[in-house]
Chain A
Amino acid sequence: MKVTIDNLTKKFGDVVGVEDLTLHIDDGEFVAFLGPSGCGKTTTLLTLAGIYRPTDGEIRFGERIVNQVQPKDRNIGMVFQSYALYPHMTVFQNIAYPLKLKRVAKNIQHERVQQVANVMGIGNLLDRRPGQLSGGQQQRVALGRALVKEPDILLFDEPLSNLDARLRLTMRGEIKHLQKDLGITSIYVTHDQVEAMTMADRIAVMNGGHLQAFDSPDELYSRPKTLFVAGFVGNPPMNFVSVDVSGSNGSYIAEADSLRLEVGQERGGPPAGYDGAVVMGIRPEDIQISENGNVSGEIFIVEPLGREDLIDVRVGPHSFLLLENTESQRQSGERVNLKFDMQKAQFFDPQTEKSLLWQ
């Protein structure tokens, strides 16, 4: 089912939940709403669910305008962060609840619940109550309940946030697999960018009630359109430094204090045309410690991550995070030369916070 959101605004009194949001989600697509707390992603989700009425704008499921449609008539399945299982019902009754409300015959209820429970791997827990289940089991029951009525759209509200790290990894894969298998249009709210990047076909990055970007994970990562997206997507985060870009004819220099970096035509041209300092962004993996690097700095701190070390290098007043192989055994205080891959550098307008490279 296609989901079309046009100029959606939701206000609570004077408080803006989400403003002028336009998103077109394709049939069978897995879309993540990514943003920090209070960015309007959950408000949007609950508006899609029909719990909130839009203040303005239009929501369409397929061709049907659903602005005024009750939640029960939207045929959606939803999974909550708190699982939201009915504590007074058994697992069976929890999963069967949507079917019971649809007045599905008892024997078909049994069949469908058993089937879904088997898919979710909880077929042996049907007579338990939610209080007698672990977090992971509860999450599976919640998923089963959302799936049992064969919804047109699946909504996820931070479903993995309450699970421990290892389980989160497993469930991430399972949910993605299940979604591809069933081909149900899914919207997944999360503040965890790893979740969004690994699971979603496209990510809607939101901040302060506004859509910042709506793109595939790759695009968001390599061509961030705003400063917020550049800083929010990617872990460890992108390094930012305020620079002046000058030069002409395919040879440009980005300068900040003692830092002097050569930039090519493609990346250097647009910021050179900007009057005043711009924000340069460069990802940790695009900086290397190298003998023939032309930027000299001092290692401030080394954080071992296991597979690699996260190294904070100070160049004058500026600080850069970069990743290096653990074998090199770097120590803090060591002086090193850095090599910047300026083909990957990003430049942003400090006023509008928009990218100078991608529109």
Chain B
Amino acid sequence: MSQQAEKREARSSRNALRSYLGAYGFMAPAGVLVVVFFLIPVAIILYLSVTNLASSNFTSNLAAMEYIGLRNYETLLNDQFARKIFFNTIFYVLFTLSIFNVSLALIVSLLTTHIDRGAGFVFRALWILPRITSPVVYILIWKRMMAEAPFGILNQFNNWLGMPTYNYIATNPWVFVVVVNGFIGLSFGMIIFTSAIESIPKDLLNASLVDGSSKLQRIRYVILPLIRWPLLFVFTYQTLSLLTSFVEIQLLTDGGPGLYRTEVWSLTAYHRALSNYFGNAQWGYGSAFAVLLVLIGVVLAVIYMRVFRFDELVAEPRVETL
């Protein structure tokens, strides 16, 4: 190789490095967030989950923390309620996701984009209210509405109409857990779907009508295929976010009524580690629950990326001149 070529090569590899540096620079802020708020906490709970750290044996000497191997996981697997909580979680995620976060979100965005623009905007604004209301206030509203006679608003109406009164949330806890979470979750999909629908070129929508479609056929053959990626995105993102959400459930039923009727996995991690009924916060044991949740989340994310082939989004076009 001639000297010049060598020099050229050295220069080009240096240039490549420099361009990579630029790319890493742009990724750095997100990278720092992921490291500080995800990787480091995961490392910490991974460590905690193999110790017996709890408020009952806590000393200020962290070195005295006892390594107990996988005993926490053993306890977890033998926990008679773990199975129930696991299926509770699947039930909760599946129903909230399919009924509200995806289906109703899609229906609301389709409806509000097919009516007068202003009216559509008002309806969407109303649907966002649950999300922008503080969870405590939002849950309090639900509780006050549904509370037992003589406190609940709904039961007050029942009284006036001479109908029997119910303790709604206690008798149908799952319905309320799903609905209350669904009303919040819906707005996310609604915003994404609406913007996706509105960004479809007007010509394309008009073309479909001229080609002979009804508005429903247009939704089926043109709009839905064109918002396929937003649909998949909302589906995957919301699965993962529902898996880890527990604030509303904690405030509404706190996993009850009774033993673990509406307890979900992430709430259990919280209960075990930070809010034990008997006053003993089992940090180590709670961390074991959290670690399993992280594992499930990562596995699901990988599966979603594979199944929905996110890499196809960036396929190269094959353009020729005529």
Contacts and interface: CB of A to CB of B under 8 A. Distances in A.
Interface of A: 46, 49-51, 70-72, 74, 76-78, 80-82, 84, 86-88, 97-98, 101-102, 128, 131-137, 140, 145, 149, 155, 167
A72 B201 contact: no
Which 10 A-B pairs rank lowest in CB-CB distance, beginning with the nearest?
A136-B322, A84-B207, A84-B203, A101-B212, A71-B209, A132-B318, A72-B212, A88-B225, A78-B210, A98-B211
Interface string B205-230: 01111111110010001100110100
B320 A134 contact: yes
B161 interface: no
B206 A51 contact: yes
A76 B204 CA distance: 16
A101 B203 contact: no
Contact of A98 (B203, B212, B225): B212
B317 interface: yes
B319 interface: yes
A136 B319 CA distance: 11
Given A88-B225, A132-B318, A97 B211 contact: yes
A133 B203 contact: no
B315 to A, nearest CB: 8
A118 to B, nearest CB: 16
16 contacts: A49-B209, A51-B209, A72-B209, A77-B210, A78-B206, A80-B206, A80-B207, A81-B203, A84-B201, A84-B203, A101-B212, A101-B213, A134-B320, A136-B321, A149-B211, A149-B212
A77 B207 CA distance: 9
A4 to B, nearest CB: 20
Nearest to A163: B322
Contact of A131 (B203, B226, B317): B317
Nearest to A145: B211
A97 B206 contact: no
Given A46-B206, A74-B210, A149-B212, 12 more contacts: A49-B206, A50-B209, A70-B209, A71-B206, A71-B209, A72-B213, A80-B207, A82-B203, A84-B204, A86-B221, A132-B317, A134-B320
A49 B202 CA distance: 14
A101 B211 CA distance: 8
A49 B211 CA distance: 10
Contacts of A78: 206-207, 210
A82 B206 CA distance: 12
Given A72-B213, A131-B317, A132-B319, A97 B221 contact: yes
B226 A87 contact: yes
B222 to A, nearest CB: 6
Contacts of A98: 211-212
Contacts of B212: 71-72, 98, 101-102, 149
Given A51-B206, A84-B206, A132-B317, A167 B322 contact: yes
Contacts of A134: 319-322
Interface in B292-322: 317-322
A8 to B, nearest CB: 18
Nearest to A130: B317
A70 B206 contact: no
Interface string B187-207: 000000000000001011011
Nearest to A151: B210
Contacts of A88: 225-226, 228
Contacts of A101: 211-213, 217
Nearest to A164: B321
Contacts of B317: 131-132
A66 B226 CA distance: 31
A42 to B, nearest CB: 11
Contacts of A81: 203
A101 B222 CA distance: 12
A81 B212 CA distance: 19
Most buried by B among A46, A50, A80: A80
Contact of A80 (B203, B320, B322): B203
B230 to A, nearest CB: 13
Contacts of A155: 210
Nearest to A155: B210
Most buried by A among B206, B212, B214, B318: B212
A51 B215 CA distance: 12
B113 to A, nearest CB: 16
Nearest to B204: A84
Nearest to A83: B203
Nearest to B224: A88
Contacts of B209: 49-51, 70-72
B125 to A, nearest CB: 22
Contacts of B221: 86, 97
A78 B213 CA distance: 14
A72 B319 contact: no
Contacts of A76: 210
Nearest to B201: A82
A86 B208 CA distance: 9
Most buried by A among B206, B210, B221, B317: B210
Nearest to A100: B221
A161 to B, nearest CB: 13
A81 B214 CA distance: 23
A81 B207 CA distance: 11
A102 B212 CA distance: 7
B313 to A, nearest CB: 12
B322 to A, nearest CB: 4
Nearest to A137: B322
Contacts of B213: 72, 101
Contacts of A51: 206, 209-210
A51 B214 CA distance: 12
A136 B213 CA distance: 26
A229 B228 CA distance: 48
Nearest to B203: A84
A76 B210 CA distance: 7
Interface string B164-176: 0000000000000
B84 to A, nearest CB: 43
